[in-house]
Structure 1
């Protein structure tokens, strides 16, 4: 491994991209077009536009066949690797599972896998962008990007060892959660990626959750309720003085939001 892996893309799988566009436009300020990206071929895939002109990720429309096959509304993250096929083989050999074998897209080679505890994610070897540079879909500080990546898992120690081994991450520091156990912070070099925590009641299976940056947590909270979402955890102050909350979007995908309280 030449460098620790980063989250380079995020994808919302939903049966209603137009409904998702209305919801995330109101809550986050994103723009999701009303028509599919022509480069996506037969798939209904739409880019998520930020106010600064960049892309926050993509939206994949779940069709009837996907739903019949078990697909459900969810956010999934993409981790960058140098060699997708080698990474798939190593993950499978270490107890992970292959959900979608490796295949090529115009933007790179991808596969969908799960870790040994069952949390799904993509791995991707992207085609280098013109002019170079890294993806900015994840940012520790900026709104309209994912700012925090949180893994709820049935085996935190084993999961941390797995991601250290295959993606080069570190684990330093934790926050006690009483009887629930520890909330353990994970890093890519000196950048805080997120945390790993024990699976709690309400989580049917191990899963990654993603917290999207908003300009004001109270305005986002009100917009979730006003636009058909369901708040599952009210805004709570986090280290550093900002606030985080959890919700389910109108189509059923769990999602988090994080940002300041400005009034």
Structure 2
């Protein structure tokens, strides 16, 4: 697999206090199977869609437990250099770059408006083995109440070029790397409870959005939005039983014209 350009989403994982519960839930909703837990790496457990590595689940690290959330990792050729840029551009490094065996080097950070994300410098593990197929990662959006902070930071750290959706109803921006759109940014409205911080919402591909929603809600998940038809697919936003937000999208079922965008780089 070719090395992903810097700033391209390349992996996602989440911590769950009930690891077996999370595995059972996502097996039902996304069809995942799971590899063996690696005790050497904190029982880190990879998830597979049709035999391809697409995500991972892991128990919480020792210390105070927060709610579960999916963490999106961005590719970097040099995690230490990216960590320095994160600090220089007003972000916070939560976990210094750490080598994970020969798999690669990771760090965790928070952008200035509050969303947590990861950086991954691939070694033998380059990241997603599949994307945009049922069960695999497809898309992600930064949800923030301070879009100017997030926009400036992301472009400065990852060298993104930006396009703005020409729609007065929402404030939505797209970020490109090398001509490929890799990330969205949505301004949070008053529809979001004030206690919900900025976060990155990860979309997983499904064969049928309504079936995935039915499976999630039958297992204790909460439907927060949708299912909704769009030019990009039929999608819905969910919260799993342990509090992690995510979305599902059927990219084969599209409706309507794609919106106009304007270059704002």
TM range (shorter): 0.7 to 0.9
One of 159, 184, 190 as aligned partner of 2:173: 184
In 2, Cα distance between equivalents of 1:212 and 1:22: 16
TM-score (norm 2): 0.85
Structure 1 stretch displaced more, 3-12 or 194-203: 194-203
- Please report how far the alpha carbon of residue 32 of structure 1 lies from its aligned counterpart in structure 2 after TM superposition: 2.4
Separation of aligned partners in 1, 2:129 and 2:7: 14
Match of residue 232 from structure 1: 224
Secondary structure at the aligned position of 2:23 is classed as: helix
The 3-state SS of whatever aligns with 1:176 is coil
CA contact (8 A) 2:53 2:130 kept: no
What secondary structure is seen at the aligned counterpart in 1 of 2:135?
coil
Given that residues 6 and 77 in structure 2 are in contact (C-alpha distance below 8 angstroms), is that contact kept between their aligned partners in structure 1?
no
Hey, what's the Cα distance between the residues in 1 that align with 2:14 and 2:187? 24
Deviation per CA, 1:195-223, whole angstroms, max 9, x where unpaired?
A: 11112323621111101000100110110
- 2-side partners of 1:113 and 1:121: how far apart? 6
Alpha-carbon deviation of 1:261?
A: 5.2
Tell me if structure 2 keeps the 8 A contact 1:3–1:168: no
* Alpha-carbon distance, 1:251 to partner: 1.4
- Compute the displacement of 1:97 (Å): 0.6
The answer on 1:47 being equivalent to 2:46 is yes
Does 1:202 pair with 2:185?
A: no
Structure 2 partner of 1:159: 150
CA distance in 1, matches of 2:178, 2:136: 20
User: Aligned partners of 1:3, 1:227: CA distance in 2, in Å?
Assistant: 37
Whether the 8 Å CA contact 2:238–2:246 is kept in 1: the answer is: yes
Partner of 1:78: 73
SS of 1:234's equivalent in the other structure is strand
Q: CA RMSD in A?
A: 2.2
Partner-residue secondary structure (3-state), 2:215: helix
Residues 52 and 130, structure 2, Cα contact 8 Å, conserved in 1: no
Matches within 5 A, 1:62-141: 62=60, 65-66=62-63, 68=64, 70-106=65-101, 107-128=103-124, 135-136=127-128, 139=131, 141=132
Distance 1:30 1:256 in 2: 15
Q: Which residue of 2 aligns with 1:5?
A: 7
- Whether contact under 8 Å (1:9, 1:137) holds in the other structure is no
User: 8 Å contact 1:244–1:256 — kept in the other structure?
Assistant: yes
Q: CA deviation at 1:136?
A: 3.5
The 8 Å contact of residues 4 and 189 in structure 1, kept in 2 or not, is answered as: no
Task: List runs of 5+ in structure 1 lacking aligned partners.
Answer: none
Point out where structure 2 has 5 or more consecutive residues left out of the alignment: 255-265
